[in-house]
A = this chain, B = another copy of it.
Amino acid sequence: MRPSRREWLRVGLHAAVAPAIMIPQARAYDIGEIEAKLAKGNGIDGVTKDDLPTPSLLLDLDAFEANVQRMASHSAEAELELRPHAKTHKCSEIAKRQVGAGALGVCVATIREAEAMAAAGIGGLLLTSESVGLNKIHRLIRLCERRPDTMAVVDHIDNARQLDEAARASGVRLNVLIDVDPLGRRTGVPPGSKAVSLAEAVDRLSGLRLRGVHGYCGASSHVKGFAERKAHSAKYMAPVLESHAAMLKKGLPVEIMSGASTGTYNIDSDLKGMTELQVGSYALMDVDYRAIGGRGGDTYDDFRPALHVLATVISKNHDDIATVDAGLKAFATDRDFGPEVARPTGLTYAFRGDEHGALMLADSEREIVLGDKIELVVPHCDPNVNLYDRMYCVRGDHVQQVWEIDARGHV
Protein backbone atom coordinates (compact mmCIF):
# COMPACT_ATOMS: atom_id res chain seq x y z
CA MET A 1 0.00 0.00 0.00
CA ARG A 2 1.26 3.43 -0.89
CA PRO A 3 1.65 5.79 2.05
CA SER A 4 -0.70 8.77 2.19
CA ARG A 5 0.70 12.14 1.19
CA ARG A 6 0.92 13.17 4.83
CA GLU A 7 2.76 10.00 5.77
CA TRP A 8 5.09 10.54 2.88
CA LEU A 9 5.84 14.05 4.01
CA ARG A 10 6.47 12.97 7.60
CA VAL A 11 8.68 10.10 6.48
CA GLY A 12 10.47 12.32 4.02
CA LEU A 13 11.10 15.06 6.51
CA HIS A 14 12.32 12.97 9.38
CA ALA A 15 14.36 10.43 7.48
CA ALA A 16 18.11 10.79 7.86
CA VAL A 17 18.53 10.17 4.16
CA ALA A 18 16.31 10.86 1.20
CA PRO A 19 13.36 8.46 1.29
CA ALA A 20 13.16 5.82 -1.41
CA ILE A 21 9.40 6.28 -1.69
CA MET A 22 8.39 7.95 -4.92
CA ILE A 23 6.54 11.23 -4.62
CA PRO A 24 2.90 10.63 -5.63
CA GLN A 25 3.14 13.09 -8.47
CA ALA A 26 -0.46 12.88 -9.56
CA ARG A 27 -1.64 14.56 -6.36
CA ALA A 28 -0.10 17.98 -6.82
CA TYR A 29 -2.58 19.94 -8.87
CA ASP A 30 -2.60 23.40 -10.29
CA ILE A 31 -5.81 25.40 -10.43
CA GLY A 32 -6.88 24.21 -13.86
CA GLU A 33 -6.39 20.57 -12.93
CA ILE A 34 -8.37 20.89 -9.72
CA GLU A 35 -11.24 22.57 -11.49
CA ALA A 36 -11.23 19.93 -14.21
CA LYS A 37 -11.32 17.17 -11.61
CA LEU A 38 -14.15 18.76 -9.69
CA ALA A 39 -16.15 19.26 -12.87
CA LYS A 40 -16.04 15.50 -13.36
CA GLY A 41 -17.61 14.84 -9.95
CA ASN A 42 -16.19 13.36 -6.79
CA GLY A 43 -14.92 9.88 -7.31
CA ILE A 44 -12.13 7.84 -5.73
CA ASP A 45 -9.78 10.39 -7.28
CA GLY A 46 -11.43 13.24 -5.38
CA VAL A 47 -9.48 16.26 -4.30
CA THR A 48 -8.76 16.84 -0.61
CA LYS A 49 -7.53 19.92 1.21
CA ASP A 50 -4.00 18.49 1.16
CA ASP A 51 -4.01 18.71 -2.63
CA LEU A 52 -4.79 22.41 -2.75
CA PRO A 53 -2.38 25.21 -3.52
CA THR A 54 -1.76 27.56 -0.60
CA PRO A 55 -2.58 30.15 0.51
CA SER A 56 -6.17 29.59 -0.55
CA LEU A 57 -9.65 30.36 0.68
CA LEU A 58 -11.79 27.55 2.11
CA LEU A 59 -15.56 27.66 2.60
CA ASP A 60 -16.80 25.13 5.15
CA LEU A 61 -20.09 24.11 3.53
CA ASP A 62 -21.67 22.72 6.72
CA ALA A 63 -21.09 25.98 8.58
CA PHE A 64 -22.09 28.13 5.61
CA GLU A 65 -25.35 26.26 5.02
CA ALA A 66 -26.24 26.46 8.72
CA ASN A 67 -25.62 30.22 8.64
CA VAL A 68 -27.78 30.77 5.56
CA GLN A 69 -30.58 28.69 7.05
CA ARG A 70 -30.46 30.42 10.41
CA MET A 71 -30.79 33.92 8.97
CA ALA A 72 -33.57 32.77 6.62
CA SER A 73 -35.47 31.31 9.57
CA HIS A 74 -34.96 34.46 11.61
CA SER A 75 -36.32 36.69 8.84
CA ALA A 76 -39.30 34.44 8.29
CA GLU A 77 -40.13 34.40 12.00
CA ALA A 78 -39.71 38.19 12.22
CA GLU A 79 -41.91 38.58 9.13
CA LEU A 80 -39.25 40.66 7.40
CA GLU A 81 -37.88 40.39 3.92
CA LEU A 82 -34.24 39.38 3.56
CA ARG A 83 -31.93 40.90 0.95
CA PRO A 84 -28.45 39.80 2.08
CA HIS A 85 -25.49 42.00 1.22
CA ALA A 86 -23.33 40.43 -1.47
CA LYS A 87 -20.47 42.90 -0.81
CA THR A 88 -19.37 40.35 1.79
CA HIS A 89 -18.90 37.40 -0.55
CA LYS A 90 -18.93 38.84 -4.11
CA CYS A 91 -19.90 35.34 -5.20
CA SER A 92 -22.98 34.60 -7.29
CA GLU A 93 -22.98 30.95 -6.17
CA ILE A 94 -23.48 32.14 -2.59
CA ALA A 95 -26.14 34.63 -3.70
CA LYS A 96 -28.01 31.80 -5.45
CA ARG A 97 -28.11 29.83 -2.22
CA GLN A 98 -29.29 32.85 -0.24
CA VAL A 99 -32.08 33.43 -2.75
CA GLY A 100 -32.83 29.71 -2.73
CA ALA A 101 -33.35 29.94 1.03
CA GLY A 102 -35.92 32.69 0.58
CA ALA A 103 -34.09 35.99 0.06
CA LEU A 104 -35.75 38.56 -2.24
CA GLY A 105 -32.49 39.20 -4.03
CA VAL A 106 -29.19 40.67 -2.84
CA CYS A 107 -27.74 44.05 -1.98
CA VAL A 108 -24.54 45.10 -3.73
CA ALA A 109 -22.07 47.87 -2.98
CA THR A 110 -20.69 48.49 -6.48
CA ILE A 111 -22.00 48.55 -10.02
CA ARG A 112 -19.46 45.85 -10.82
CA GLU A 113 -21.03 43.58 -8.19
CA ALA A 114 -24.49 44.38 -9.60
CA GLU A 115 -23.39 43.52 -13.14
CA ALA A 116 -21.83 40.23 -12.04
CA MET A 117 -24.89 39.20 -10.02
CA ALA A 118 -27.20 40.05 -12.91
CA ALA A 119 -25.00 38.10 -15.33
CA ALA A 120 -25.39 35.08 -13.04
CA GLY A 121 -29.17 35.41 -13.09
CA ILE A 122 -29.64 37.05 -9.68
CA GLY A 123 -32.48 39.61 -9.58
CA GLY A 124 -33.85 41.86 -6.85
CA LEU A 125 -30.64 43.89 -6.72
CA LEU A 126 -30.30 46.89 -4.40
CA LEU A 127 -27.17 48.98 -5.01
CA THR A 128 -26.47 50.54 -1.61
CA SER A 129 -23.84 53.10 -2.66
CA GLU A 130 -24.61 56.28 -4.55
CA SER A 131 -24.16 56.13 -8.33
CA VAL A 132 -22.34 59.36 -9.13
CA GLY A 133 -20.33 60.13 -12.25
CA LEU A 134 -21.12 59.21 -15.82
CA ASN A 135 -19.56 55.76 -15.71
CA LYS A 136 -21.65 54.56 -12.77
CA ILE A 137 -24.84 56.26 -13.94
CA HIS A 138 -24.78 54.80 -17.42
CA ARG A 139 -23.87 51.32 -16.27
CA LEU A 140 -26.72 51.48 -13.74
CA ILE A 141 -29.22 52.54 -16.40
CA ARG A 142 -28.06 49.77 -18.73
CA LEU A 143 -28.51 47.29 -15.91
CA CYS A 144 -32.06 48.57 -15.36
CA GLU A 145 -32.82 47.95 -19.01
CA ARG A 146 -31.97 44.29 -18.45
CA ARG A 147 -33.22 44.05 -14.84
CA PRO A 148 -36.07 46.55 -14.28
CA ASP A 149 -36.40 45.50 -10.63
CA THR A 150 -32.95 46.92 -9.80
CA MET A 151 -32.97 49.58 -7.07
CA ALA A 152 -30.47 52.35 -6.36
CA VAL A 153 -30.01 54.88 -3.55
CA VAL A 154 -29.79 58.68 -3.69
CA ASP A 155 -28.74 61.20 -1.08
CA HIS A 156 -28.61 64.44 -3.11
CA ILE A 157 -31.03 66.19 -5.44
CA ASP A 158 -28.33 66.90 -8.03
CA ASN A 159 -27.57 63.20 -8.36
CA ALA A 160 -31.31 62.41 -8.42
CA ARG A 161 -31.74 64.79 -11.36
CA GLN A 162 -28.88 63.17 -13.26
CA LEU A 163 -30.31 59.71 -12.67
CA ASP A 164 -33.74 60.93 -13.73
CA GLU A 165 -32.39 62.42 -16.93
CA ALA A 166 -30.38 59.31 -17.78
CA ALA A 167 -33.36 57.05 -17.06
CA ARG A 168 -35.71 59.11 -19.21
CA ALA A 169 -33.17 59.25 -22.03
CA SER A 170 -33.13 55.45 -22.04
CA GLY A 171 -36.86 55.03 -21.52
CA VAL A 172 -36.55 53.24 -18.18
CA ARG A 173 -37.88 54.08 -14.74
CA LEU A 174 -35.29 53.62 -12.03
CA ASN A 175 -36.38 52.37 -8.60
CA VAL A 176 -34.76 54.44 -5.85
CA LEU A 177 -34.52 54.46 -2.09
CA ILE A 178 -33.66 57.63 -0.21
CA ASP A 179 -30.34 56.97 1.56
CA VAL A 180 -30.87 58.49 5.02
CA ASP A 181 -27.79 58.99 7.18
CA PRO A 182 -27.97 57.65 10.76
CA LEU A 183 -25.52 60.50 11.47
CA GLY A 184 -22.38 58.63 10.47
CA ARG A 185 -21.68 61.33 7.87
CA ARG A 186 -20.45 58.79 5.35
CA THR A 187 -23.27 58.78 2.83
CA GLY A 188 -26.93 59.71 3.14
CA VAL A 189 -29.04 62.81 3.44
CA PRO A 190 -29.44 63.97 7.06
CA PRO A 191 -32.65 62.63 8.63
CA GLY A 192 -35.67 64.87 9.23
CA SER A 193 -36.90 67.62 6.94
CA LYS A 194 -34.00 67.34 4.50
CA ALA A 195 -34.69 63.64 3.99
CA VAL A 196 -38.41 64.18 3.56
CA SER A 197 -37.86 67.05 1.12
CA LEU A 198 -35.50 64.90 -0.96
CA ALA A 199 -38.11 62.12 -1.04
CA GLU A 200 -40.77 64.58 -2.21
CA ALA A 201 -38.46 65.92 -4.92
CA VAL A 202 -37.54 62.42 -6.10
CA ASP A 203 -41.21 61.46 -6.20
CA ARG A 204 -41.80 64.30 -8.68
CA LEU A 205 -39.13 63.06 -11.13
CA SER A 206 -40.79 60.96 -13.79
CA GLY A 207 -37.70 58.89 -14.59
CA LEU A 208 -37.43 57.72 -11.00
CA ARG A 209 -39.78 55.59 -8.94
CA LEU A 210 -39.54 56.23 -5.23
CA ARG A 211 -39.69 52.95 -3.33
CA GLY A 212 -38.49 53.57 0.21
CA VAL A 213 -35.66 54.37 2.56
CA HIS A 214 -32.18 52.95 2.99
CA GLY A 215 -30.65 53.45 6.44
CA TYR A 216 -27.52 51.57 7.35
CA CYS A 217 -25.90 52.28 10.70
CA GLY A 218 -22.47 50.74 10.31
CA ALA A 219 -21.37 52.20 13.63
CA SER A 220 -23.78 49.93 15.52
CA SER A 221 -22.74 46.67 13.93
CA HIS A 222 -19.71 45.96 16.10
CA VAL A 223 -20.69 47.58 19.42
CA LYS A 224 -19.67 45.02 22.05
CA GLY A 225 -22.40 43.53 24.24
CA PHE A 226 -25.93 42.79 23.13
CA ALA A 227 -27.62 45.39 25.37
CA GLU A 228 -25.11 48.10 24.42
CA ARG A 229 -25.51 47.30 20.74
CA LYS A 230 -29.28 47.36 21.03
CA ALA A 231 -29.22 50.78 22.71
CA HIS A 232 -26.79 52.12 20.09
CA SER A 233 -28.84 50.97 17.15
CA ALA A 234 -32.13 52.21 18.67
CA LYS A 235 -30.62 55.65 19.21
CA TYR A 236 -29.10 56.09 15.78
CA MET A 237 -31.82 54.37 13.77
CA ALA A 238 -34.63 56.38 15.45
CA PRO A 239 -34.19 59.51 13.27
CA VAL A 240 -34.07 57.33 10.14
CA LEU A 241 -37.25 55.49 11.09
CA GLU A 242 -38.94 58.78 12.01
CA SER A 243 -38.00 60.19 8.62
CA HIS A 244 -39.46 57.11 6.96
CA ALA A 245 -42.66 57.44 9.01
CA ALA A 246 -42.93 61.11 8.06
CA MET A 247 -42.66 60.19 4.37
CA LEU A 248 -45.38 57.57 4.79
CA LYS A 249 -47.57 60.14 6.54
CA LYS A 250 -47.23 62.41 3.52
CA GLY A 251 -48.46 59.59 1.34
CA LEU A 252 -45.11 58.97 -0.35
CA PRO A 253 -44.73 55.44 -1.78
CA VAL A 254 -41.95 54.36 0.57
CA GLU A 255 -43.01 50.77 1.21
CA ILE A 256 -39.40 49.62 1.77
CA MET A 257 -37.35 50.37 4.89
CA SER A 258 -34.01 48.57 4.52
CA GLY A 259 -31.20 48.31 7.06
CA ALA A 260 -29.44 46.17 9.70
CA SER A 261 -26.15 44.30 9.90
CA THR A 262 -25.06 40.87 11.10
CA GLY A 263 -24.46 42.51 14.49
CA THR A 264 -28.00 43.94 14.71
CA TYR A 265 -30.08 41.42 12.75
CA ASN A 266 -32.02 40.33 15.87
CA ILE A 267 -32.10 43.89 17.23
CA ASP A 268 -33.21 45.89 14.20
CA SER A 269 -35.84 43.30 13.33
CA ASP A 270 -37.74 44.56 16.39
CA LEU A 271 -37.58 48.19 15.27
CA LYS A 272 -41.00 49.46 14.22
CA GLY A 273 -41.12 50.28 10.53
CA MET A 274 -38.31 48.03 9.31
CA THR A 275 -39.33 45.95 6.30
CA GLU A 276 -36.15 44.21 5.21
CA LEU A 277 -32.70 43.15 6.41
CA GLN A 278 -29.50 43.71 4.41
CA VAL A 279 -27.20 41.57 6.57
CA GLY A 280 -23.99 40.34 4.98
CA SER A 281 -21.24 38.84 7.13
CA TYR A 282 -23.45 36.17 8.76
CA ALA A 283 -22.88 33.83 5.83
CA LEU A 284 -19.10 33.70 6.30
CA MET A 285 -18.26 35.25 9.71
CA ASP A 286 -14.88 36.44 10.95
CA VAL A 287 -12.80 37.14 14.06
CA ASP A 288 -14.25 40.66 14.27
CA TYR A 289 -17.88 39.57 14.54
CA ARG A 290 -17.08 36.64 16.82
CA ALA A 291 -15.91 39.17 19.42
CA ILE A 292 -19.00 41.38 19.69
CA GLY A 293 -20.93 39.25 22.19
CA GLY A 294 -24.33 37.65 21.65
CA ARG A 295 -27.74 37.74 23.25
CA GLY A 296 -26.65 35.07 25.70
CA GLY A 297 -23.23 36.37 26.74
CA ASP A 298 -19.71 37.27 25.63
CA THR A 299 -19.58 34.81 22.75
CA TYR A 300 -21.38 35.65 19.55
CA ASP A 301 -22.06 32.18 18.20
CA ASP A 302 -25.30 32.79 16.32
CA PHE A 303 -23.33 32.04 13.16
CA ARG A 304 -20.36 29.76 12.59
CA PRO A 305 -16.98 30.74 11.11
CA ALA A 306 -17.29 29.33 7.58
CA LEU A 307 -14.37 31.08 5.91
CA HIS A 308 -10.77 29.98 6.44
CA VAL A 309 -7.43 30.58 4.83
CA LEU A 310 -5.41 27.42 4.24
CA ALA A 311 -1.65 27.91 4.63
CA THR A 312 1.48 25.74 4.56
CA VAL A 313 4.45 25.76 6.94
CA ILE A 314 7.35 26.63 4.62
CA SER A 315 10.21 27.40 7.01
CA LYS A 316 11.14 25.83 10.34
CA ASN A 317 14.61 26.71 11.55
CA HIS A 318 13.79 27.62 15.17
CA ASP A 319 12.09 25.83 18.04
CA ASP A 320 9.79 28.71 18.94
CA ILE A 321 8.66 29.87 15.51
CA ALA A 322 7.48 28.47 12.19
CA THR A 323 6.80 30.45 9.02
CA VAL A 324 3.71 29.97 6.85
CA ASP A 325 3.07 31.13 3.31
CA ALA A 326 0.17 33.47 4.17
CA GLY A 327 0.91 37.10 5.01
CA LEU A 328 -0.35 40.61 4.27
CA LYS A 329 -1.60 39.62 0.82
CA ALA A 330 -3.57 36.65 2.16
CA PHE A 331 -5.55 38.46 4.87
CA ALA A 332 -7.44 41.71 5.30
CA THR A 333 -5.36 43.91 7.57
CA ASP A 334 -7.79 46.71 8.37
CA ARG A 335 -8.42 45.58 11.94
CA ASP A 336 -6.13 45.84 14.96
CA PHE A 337 -5.96 42.06 15.17
CA GLY A 338 -4.90 39.34 12.78
CA PRO A 339 -6.34 35.94 11.89
CA GLU A 340 -6.90 33.21 14.49
CA VAL A 341 -5.58 29.70 14.01
CA ALA A 342 -8.52 27.29 13.84
CA ARG A 343 -6.59 24.11 13.06
CA PRO A 344 -4.41 22.85 14.62
CA THR A 345 -5.51 24.42 17.89
CA GLY A 346 -3.21 26.07 20.41
CA LEU A 347 -1.20 28.21 17.99
CA THR A 348 -1.08 31.97 17.48
CA TYR A 349 -0.31 33.81 14.27
CA ALA A 350 1.58 37.06 13.57
CA PHE A 351 2.12 38.89 10.28
CA ARG A 352 5.66 38.69 8.85
CA GLY A 353 5.39 40.61 5.59
CA ASP A 354 3.59 40.44 2.27
CA GLU A 355 3.81 36.67 1.81
CA HIS A 356 4.70 35.37 5.25
CA GLY A 357 3.22 34.82 8.68
CA ALA A 358 4.72 33.39 11.85
CA LEU A 359 3.28 30.70 14.10
CA MET A 360 4.42 31.38 17.65
CA LEU A 361 5.30 28.05 19.21
CA ALA A 362 6.86 28.96 22.57
CA ASP A 363 3.73 27.98 24.49
CA SER A 364 2.69 25.17 22.18
CA GLU A 365 3.26 21.50 22.89
CA ARG A 366 2.42 20.58 19.34
CA GLU A 367 5.18 19.57 16.96
CA ILE A 368 5.09 21.63 13.79
CA VAL A 369 7.05 20.42 10.77
CA LEU A 370 7.68 21.62 7.23
CA GLY A 371 4.64 21.06 5.04
CA ASP A 372 2.05 21.13 7.84
CA LYS A 373 -1.26 22.67 6.79
CA ILE A 374 -2.76 25.43 8.93
CA GLU A 375 -6.33 26.79 8.79
CA LEU A 376 -7.02 30.33 9.97
CA VAL A 377 -10.23 32.27 10.62
CA VAL A 378 -10.07 35.58 8.75
CA PRO A 379 -10.02 38.87 10.69
CA HIS A 380 -12.63 40.69 8.57
CA CYS A 381 -14.49 38.69 5.95
CA ASP A 382 -15.49 41.29 3.32
CA PRO A 383 -12.05 42.61 2.36
CA ASN A 384 -10.55 39.15 2.91
CA VAL A 385 -12.74 37.53 0.25
CA ASN A 386 -11.83 40.43 -2.04
CA LEU A 387 -8.20 39.22 -2.12
CA TYR A 388 -9.01 35.89 -3.76
CA ASP A 389 -10.35 34.78 -7.13
CA ARG A 390 -12.03 31.59 -5.94
CA MET A 391 -13.04 29.72 -2.82
CA TYR A 392 -12.69 25.99 -2.35
CA CYS A 393 -15.86 24.53 -0.81
CA VAL A 394 -15.10 21.71 1.61
CA ARG A 395 -16.91 19.16 3.75
CA GLY A 396 -14.41 17.83 6.24
CA ASP A 397 -11.23 17.24 4.23
CA HIS A 398 -12.99 16.78 0.93
CA VAL A 399 -13.13 19.58 -1.65
CA GLN A 400 -16.56 19.49 -3.26
CA GLN A 401 -16.70 22.56 -5.46
CA VAL A 402 -14.78 25.63 -6.51
CA TRP A 403 -16.78 28.86 -6.56
CA GLU A 404 -15.52 31.83 -8.49
CA ILE A 405 -15.57 35.16 -6.64
CA ASP A 406 -17.04 36.59 -9.80
CA ALA A 407 -18.02 40.03 -8.51
CA ARG A 408 -14.59 41.02 -7.21
CA GLY A 409 -12.30 43.56 -8.87
CA HIS A 410 -12.71 47.25 -8.33
CA VAL A 411 -14.02 48.27 -11.67
Within 8 Å CB of A2, what residues of B? none
* CB of A344 closer than 8 Å to a CB of B: no
> Are A135 and B185 neighbours in the complex by a CB distance under 8 Å?
no
* Residues of chain B contacted by A28 (CB below 8 angstroms): 134-135, 137-139
Which single residue of chain B is at the shortest CB-CB distance from A335? Answer: B333
Identical copies in the complex: 2
B187 touches A356 (CB 8 A): yes
From B23, B133, B137, B353, give the contact of A165 (CB < 8 A): B23
Nearest CB of B to A349, in Å: 13
> A87 touching B355 by the CB < 8 A rule?
yes
- A411 on the B face (CB < 8 A): yes
B354 A383 Cβ-Cβ under 8 A:
yes
How far apart are the CA atoms of A60 and B132 in the complex, in Å?
A: 25
Pair A371/B133 contact, Cβ less than 8 Å: yes
- The interface residues of chain B lying within 8 Å CB-to-CB of A264 are none
A61-69, A225-233, A239-247, A314-322 - interface stretch: A314-322
Give A127 Cβ to nearest chain B Cβ, in Å.
11
The reply on A313 being an interface residue by CB < 8 A is: yes
Give A405's nearest chain B residue, CB to CB. Answer: B409
Alpha-carbon gap, A14 to B162, bound state (A): 11
- The residue that A133 contacts in the complex, of B54, B352, B383, with Cβ under 8 A, is B54
Q: Which residues of B contact A12 (CB under 8 A)?
A: 158, 161-162, 165
Name which residue of chain B comes closest to A168, CB basis.
Answer: B18
Stretch at the interface among A76-84, A252-260, A296-304, A324-332: A324-332
Kindly state whether residue A136 has any CB partner on chain B within 8 Å: yes
- Residues from chain B with a CB closer than 8 A to the CB of A325 are 110, 129, 132
Minimum CB–CB distance for A313 against chain B, Å: 7
Contact mask for chain A residues 380-411; partner B; CB cutoff 8 A; 1 contact, 0 none: 00110011111000000000000000000111
State in angstroms the CA–CA spacing of A159 and B317 once bound together: 12
Q: Hey, what's the 0/1 contact readout for A157-195 against B, CB within 8 Å counting as 1?
A: 011011011100100000000000100011111100000
The answer on a CB contact under 8 Å between B181 and A314 is: no
* Cα-based distance from A54 to B134 in the complex (angstroms): 11
Known: A186-B356, A332-B333. A411 touches B137 (CB 8 A): no
Question: With a CB–CB cut-off of 8 A, which chain B residues contact A115?
Answer: 30
Q: Does A334 contact B (CB under 8 A)?
A: yes
Nearest residue (CB) in B for A115 is B30
Query: Per a CB cutoff under 8 Å, which of B13, B135, B353 touches A53?
Result: B135
**Given A132-B325, A155-B315, 8 further pairs, Cβ under 8 A:** A9-B133, A12-B165, A25-B138, A132-B371, A156-B317, A185-B317, A185-B321, A387-B387
A contact set with B: CB distance below 8 Å? 5, 9, 12-14, 17-19, 22-25, 27-31, 50-57, 87, 109-112, 115, 129-139, 155-156, 158-159, 161-162, 164-166, 169, 181, 185-190, 218, 312-318, 321, 323, 325-326, 328-330, 332-334, 351-356, 358, 370-371, 373, 382-383, 386-390, 409-411
The contact sample of 30 A-B pairs, CB cut-off 8 A, is A9-B133, A12-B162, A14-B158, A17-B161, A18-B162, A18-B164, A23-B134, A23-B137, A23-B166, A25-B138, A31-B411, A52-B135, A52-B411, A53-B411, A54-B133, A54-B136, A54-B411, A132-B312, A133-B373, A156-B315, A156-B317, A185-B317, A187-B315, A189-B317, A190-B317, A330-B410, A333-B383, A387-B410, A389-B409, A389-B410
